[in-house]
Structure 1
């Protein structure tokens, strides 16, 4: 696997926590020094490990928000 780095710019929401302490989080993250994007994934307690996730642009997040408003 290729090396990469990340910086969590802002934690927007912690959606859940597992019994082992992993959290599902929505964060604003800069991957490899690029422009920050919204990211939804599971994280180990100290952010030393991560699970698979999805990365979204601001436009993606706004479309998702509009779609989810139907559930309220």
Structure 2
């Protein structure tokens, strides 16, 4: 089984910090030397270990932002 490689190209922010030190982060990450994608997942303090997460292409992230914005604007 090939080793999965990653490079965090840009740290965009922390969504939540856990008591155990792990943090749910939004980053631009290149997986296996591919072009970077938006990435949401939990990372340990050293960014050596991570949980399963979700990656999004630019168009998917724009759609997500639009959906959340639209939803937020329609809250009572």
Cα deviation, residue 7, structure 1:
0.4
Give the aligned length: 72
TM-score (normalizing by structure 2): 0.89
SS at match of 1:61: helix
Match of residue 61 from structure 1? 61
SS at match of 2:15: strand
Unaligned runs of 5+ in 1: none
Cα deviation, residue 55, structure 1:
0.5
Structure whose alpha-carbon radius of gyration is higher:
2
> Displaced runs of 4+ in structure 1, greater than 2 A?
none
TM-score (normalizing by structure 1): 0.94
Q: CA RMSD in A?
A: 1.0
